[in-house]
Chain A
Amino acid sequence: MDFNLKIWRQKNASEKGHFETYHISGIEEDASFLEMLDILNEQLIREGNDPVAIERGCQSSGPVSFDHDCREGICGACSLYIDGRAHGPDDHVTTCQLFMRHFKDGATITVEPFRSPAFPIIKDLVVDRSAFDKILQAGGFISVRTGAAQDGNTILIPHDNAEKSMDAAACVGCGACVATCKNGSAMLFVAARVSSLALLPQGRPEAATRAKNMVAKMEELGFGGCTNTRACEMECPKGISIDHIARLNREFLKAKFRD
């Protein structure tokens, strides 16, 4: 398959970015989107070295930087806004699990970073998502010390609650919800963690304060508010439901009443 790739290039956080367009050919339809970018980078490095190619006009800003790691859809490192959608045109996948068979041969594909004021660009398609770590540091845990736990089976958890908790815990922290939200809100991300723990008895003691502290941190870090457009739910690679936002709101309100 052949493609024209229109890719956002930006040297670093302070310089202005721009699009560059590259042509790539001979891509297998079973190749993943990131494998396609690997092949593009090989091509850009070779061309960057080749005086004939440079004379032909093959000038680029060198290989494209993009975050990626496990390539199994679980680490959450990969991002990319592809043809106007977080993680591209397939549903419920991260970019690393997006395959070229979902594109038309000869298509022009636009690739941008996840854009949000809370995710500054580091280089090209790589953004800084450390705000997510900071939100979780504000309360995304159960305060238990190593060694303090009782036997696991003394905490009974109804099967369905464990399953629901797991649905929320499947969040990979990729940031698609933020990138796709018109308000740049991280509500789904926050809700997934709050809800997952609030559904478990061992998470109950801190449930309300956890919600309050994490939401406060989210607002402090420049994420927007939630207006229930459900865009996040649509684009979440793990299909996390906004029902969890409702559960977050309940916990948040409890904390407010208590104050």
Chain B
Amino acid sequence: MAEKLISKIPDGPLAEKWTKRKSELRLVNPNNRRKLEIIVVGTGLGGASAAASLGELGYNVKVFCISDSPRRAHSIAAQGGINAAKNYQNDNDAVYRLFYDTIKGGDYRSREANVYRLAEVSAAIIDQCVAQGVPFAREYGGYLANRSFGGVQVSRTFYARGQTGQQLLLGAYAALNRQVAAGTVTSYPRHEMLDLVIVNGQAKGIIARNLVTGKLERFGAHAVVIATGGYGNTYFLSTNAMNSNGSAAWQCYKKGAFFANPCFAQIHPTCIPVHGDQQCKLTLMSESLRNDGRIWVPKKMEDVMKLRKKEIKPSQIPEEDRDYYLERRYPAFGNLVPRDVASRAAKERCDAGYGVNETGLAVFLDFADAIKRLGHQRVQERYGNLFDMYFKINNVSPWEEPMMIYPAIHYTMGGIWVDYDLQTTIPGLYAIGEANFSDHGGNRLGASALMQGLADGYFVLPVTIADYLSNKFAEPKTDINDPAFEEAEKAVQARIDKLFSIKGKKTVDSLHKKLGNIMWEYVGMARSEEGLKKAIEEIKELKKEFYEDVCVPGEQNQFNQELEKALRLEDFFEIGELMARDALNRNESCGGHFRVESQTEEGEAKRDDANYMYVAAWEYKGEDKEPELHKEPLKYEFIEVKTRNYKE
């Protein structure tokens, strides 16, 4: 099976690889594109931009989303910005530097060629979005403005207030709408993909549930693109939207697509702390806040105690009694260290007892200095909506007192394994954006998710998929009465029937919450062999409990949100188990994955390049069978692999 992991990375110098690959890729002539059908599942930045671009090229596209409109996809919640190597600031930025920062930020666990391509197309993304009417922030001269993000020393992040994801998504959604009007794209909102259909070894369609009527529907195509985002909601509490899930990707895994680096999950340092056990969702406060906000906890334990009892306000603690621990530990990058480093540092302070709220799980993010330095007006322009949001949620104004923040699950770097063309191990099945594993290694830098989603959707996939489709136009349209569709639909129906037949007493959410607790405890910010083994056992137990005692009320053939959640939770159990298994296998600390067995004396992450410089790609082997691990070695030909150092 090893031959399945052919990465198709072109030979030659790094800067010429993408050009070389593009020149090799076969084309489909415009007359023949009309004969070809492509299914795109998901309408976030990746899915919407891909569907729109493929429609513009003349393909027949069917695009699916679980929300009532493509515009609701969770890319919309990205706040801070999008990176691009424009060097508009004259701060010596370049494609190479963006590439280097991304590889280094990912702790040397991503492919050089993919990351270089990402940096290479980044500038064109900004141009495209400007042309679509995305209202990026401007300087007074009318030129595009930039800010800085974690893990870098240049200002290359473009932004639209704290709503960059929203604006970029509305741009892609507008392009999509234009194609719907042109008739090249058909949109299927409130449809959830529940299975992938494979005919003669090739991805040829999907089974989707119409979430309004509840009926199962079959859709055929010449190729299928998965753009369904990550699986962060395995943890129950995360910054993901409530309906974000890993099911579409997981069904592809179960049909033979390899799943890569599942244990690489990003824990974002600046989220609003958990307020109680009635909570179901964590809210992110943009990383852009770390440009001007300073993170601290008190130096003195007595101040911590007074804060928890609300006897003093944080602003009353004098400067000399504050521990700006990121500036202390990482002087070169200070508050702008990468997310994994910032999260672990917050955990370290809170574990040491310095957490500043009642639960002891919070640190301060303070804007007093920034307001003094920049003035109210400029801080308002940069972060106004984030300050408002914080106030609405916490009833405390960041203009007067520092924000309280704590790390939370935010993004998953792992995902479906893809080659350089973004094709999975199943011919005709592609994965883009957060759904694939390819560009962020062990840790994603801020403002790079938007960049990757749009790079894949606008500029990479529309080119690479033509190569696969170039000899498919003569084939007849996929027949949805093919036995493969029949079989897939029956299997989905059996799953649904089984869930309704259990008639237990426990709600889906209560069981999901339990899974979340196991994941956060053992597969969270610090992982150990013992804990991970425990996680695998406990998830198995919990899964048993689910199949014995879950209650799914209502019926199939109606709008039924409990059924939707139950189907997703079934997959989260299995995803969680594979995450733990992958984390157990990777006995090194690397990016967001921290194994307590592998750390330096100072408590910094210790990578093990000799043994783990590979992509772990897992192959499904069947129900209750252990998955098989395949290794794609990572070769660094163009950069020197170093220990990440944000201190000097």
Chain A contact residues, CB within 8 Å of chain B: 11-12, 27-28, 30-31, 35, 38-39, 41-42, 45-46, 48-49, 62-63, 65, 67-77, 90, 92-93, 97, 99, 101, 122-123, 126, 128-130, 132-133, 136-138, 140-153, 155-159, 162-163, 165-166, 169-170, 172-173, 196-197, 200, 202-203
A144 to chain B, nearest CB (A): 4
Q: Choose from B73, B133, B161, B558 the contact partner of A142 (Cβ within 8 Å).
A: B133
Given contacts A130-B68, A133-B69, A159-B140, could you give 20 more A-B pairs where the C-beta distance is less than 8 Å? A30-B276, A65-B559, A69-B241, A73-B392, A75-B73, A128-B68, A130-B189, A137-B180, A137-B181, A140-B177, A144-B175, A146-B459, A147-B459, A152-B127, A152-B130, A162-B138, A166-B161, A169-B160, A197-B133, A202-B133
Q: Choose from B133, B242, B278, B509 the contact partner of A68 (Cβ within 8 Å).
A: B242
Q: Which residues of B contact A169 (CB under 8 A)?
A: 135, 160, 166-167, 170
Q: Contact at A97–B241, with CB atoms within 8 Å?
A: no
Q: Contact at B509–A38, with CB atoms within 8 Å?
A: yes
Interface centre among A128, A140, A146, A156 (most CB of B within 10 A): A146
- Measured CB to CB, the nearest residue on chain B to A156 is B142
Q: Contact at A39–B278, with CB atoms within 8 Å?
A: yes
Q: Choose from A72, A172, A200, A202 the contact partner of B389 (Cβ within 8 Å).
A: A72
Question: Do A74 and B131 form a contact, CB below 8 Å, given A97-B389, A133-B69, A152-B126?
Answer: no
Please measure, in the bound complex, the distance between the C-alpha atom of A35 and the C-alpha atom of B274, giving whole angstroms.
13
Across the A-B interface, give the 5 residue pairs with the lowest CB-CB distance, nearest first: A156-B142, A149-B131, A141-B174, A152-B130, A149-B127
Q: Choose from A35, A48, A75 the contact partner of B76 (Cβ within 8 Å).
A: A75
Please measure, in the bound complex, the distance between the C-alpha atom of A143 and the C-alpha atom of B138, giving whole angstroms.
23
Q: Which residues of B contact A157 (CB under 8 A)?
A: 135, 138, 142
A214 to chain B, nearest CB (A): 11
- Of residues 399 to 426 in B, which have CB atoms within 8 Å of A's CB atoms? none
- Measured CB to CB, the nearest residue on chain A to B174 is A141
B67 to chain A, nearest CB (A): 6
Q: Contact at A146–B562, with CB atoms within 8 Å?
A: no
Please measure, in the bound complex, the distance between the C-alpha atom of A91 and the C-alpha atom of B76, giving whole angstroms.
22
Please measure, in the bound complex, the distance between the C-alpha atom of A140 and the C-alpha atom of B71, giving whole angstroms.
13
B141 at the interface (CB under 8 A from A): yes
Interface 0/1 of B68-90, CB less than 8 Å to A: 11111110110000000010100
Instruction: Mark the stretch among B255-263, B280-288, B577-585, B631-639 that contacts chain A.
Output: B280-288
Question: Do A73 and B278 form a contact, CB below 8 Å, given A42-B507, A48-B553?
Answer: no
Interface centre among B141, B242, B381 (most CB of A within 10 A): B242
Please measure, in the bound complex, the distance between the C-alpha atom of A74 and the C-alpha atom of B135, giving whole angstroms.
17
Please measure, in the bound complex, the distance between the C-alpha atom of A255 and the C-alpha atom of B386, giving whole angstroms.
38
Q: Contact at B141–A156, with CB atoms within 8 Å?
A: yes
- Of residues 114 to 169 in B, which have CB atoms within 8 Å of A's CB atoms? 124, 126-133, 135-144, 160-161, 163, 166-167
Question: Do A72 and B133 form a contact, CB below 8 Å, given A12-B559, A156-B141?
Answer: no
Q: Contact at B558–A12, with CB atoms within 8 Å?
A: yes
Q: Contact at B163–A170, with CB atoms within 8 Å?
A: yes
Interface 0/1 of B1-38, CB less than 8 Å to A: 00000000000000000000000000000000000000
Question: Do A73 and B138 form a contact, CB below 8 Å, given A35-B280, A62-B554, A123-B558?
Answer: no
B438 to chain A, nearest CB (A): 21
Q: Choose from A77, A147, A148 the contact partner of B72 (Cβ within 8 Å).
A: A77
Q: Contact at B393–A97, with CB atoms within 8 Å?
A: yes
Q: Contact at A153–B144, with CB atoms within 8 Å?
A: yes
Q: Contact at B507–A46, with CB atoms within 8 Å?
A: yes
Q: Contact at A76–B71, with CB atoms within 8 Å?
A: yes
B187 at the interface (CB under 8 A from A): yes
- B side interface size, CB within 8 A: 82
Q: Contact at B458–A63, with CB atoms within 8 Å?
A: no
B484 to chain A, nearest CB (A): 31
Q: Choose from B70, B128, B170, B241 the contact partner of A70 (Cβ within 8 Å).
A: B241
Please measure, in the bound complex, the distance between the C-alpha atom of A51 and the C-alpha atom of B242, giving whole angstroms.
31
Q: Choose from A12, A74, A123, A133 the contact partner of B177 (Cβ within 8 Å).
A: A133
Please measure, in the bound complex, the distance between the C-alpha atom of A107 and the C-alpha atom of B124, giving whole angstroms.
55
Q: Which residues of A contact B139 (CB under 8 A)?
A: 159
Q: Which residues of B contact A150 (CB under 8 A)?
A: 127, 131
Please measure, in the bound complex, the distance between the C-alpha atom of A75 and the C-alpha atom of B163, giving whole angstroms.
11
30 contacts between A and B (CB under 8 A): A12-B558, A28-B276, A31-B278, A49-B551, A63-B553, A65-B561, A69-B67, A69-B241, A69-B243, A75-B67, A75-B74, A77-B67, A90-B392, A97-B389, A99-B392, A128-B68, A129-B68, A133-B69, A136-B173, A140-B174, A141-B133, A141-B177, A142-B132, A142-B174, A155-B130, A157-B142, A166-B160, A196-B133, A196-B135, A202-B130
B446 at the interface (CB under 8 A from A): no
- Of residues 190 to 249 in B, which have CB atoms within 8 Å of A's CB atoms? 212, 241-243
Q: Choose from B49, B175, B458, B559 the contact partner of A122 (Cβ within 8 Å).
A: B559
- Measured CB to CB, the nearest residue on chain A to B134 is A169
Please measure, in the bound complex, the distance between the C-alpha atom of A206 and the C-alpha atom of B521, giving whole angstroms.
54
